[in-house]
Amino acid sequence: KAGVTQTPRYLIKTRGQQVTLSCSPISGHRSVSWYQQTPGQGLQFLFEYFSETQRNKGNFPGRFSGRQFSNSRSEMNVSTLELGDSALYLCASSLTKVQPLHFGNGTRLTVT
């Protein structure tokens, strides 16, 4: 079975721009979560989707948004990028609500 796939692997954007990251979960997994990883703040939860509905949201500003499609693939969007948004963004999927999460390799976003 293929793992969680995130594209692109690397992104360089300029302050003020917006960016969309993509995640394909493991086949059959319906829950997709997003996390931000930085050296200073560690791993922080952004949001979680299940069957196209956002079920949980972390403590991030509204510039961070996401969605999930009917095939369970998910996208995350960040608008009006700030330097502090530079991070590794991780996507994870799970089979059901409280099953262990399987993580992708992440998208490394650099904001200049």
**Among 15-23, 67-75, 79-87, 92-100, the segment contacting another protein (CB under 8 A):** 92-100
Q: Spell out, one character per residue from 3 to 42, where the chain touches another protein: x when CB under 8 A holds, - when not.
A: xx--------------------------xxx-x------x
Residue 86 CB, shortest distance to another protein, in Å, is 18
Sheet holding 64-68, edge to edge: 5-7, 19-24, 74-78, 64-68
CA 21 to chain centre: 7
- For 70, residues 6+ apart whose C-beta sits below 8 A from its C-beta are 52
Interacting residues with another protein between 36 and 65 (CB under 8 A): 42-45, 48-50, 55-56, 58
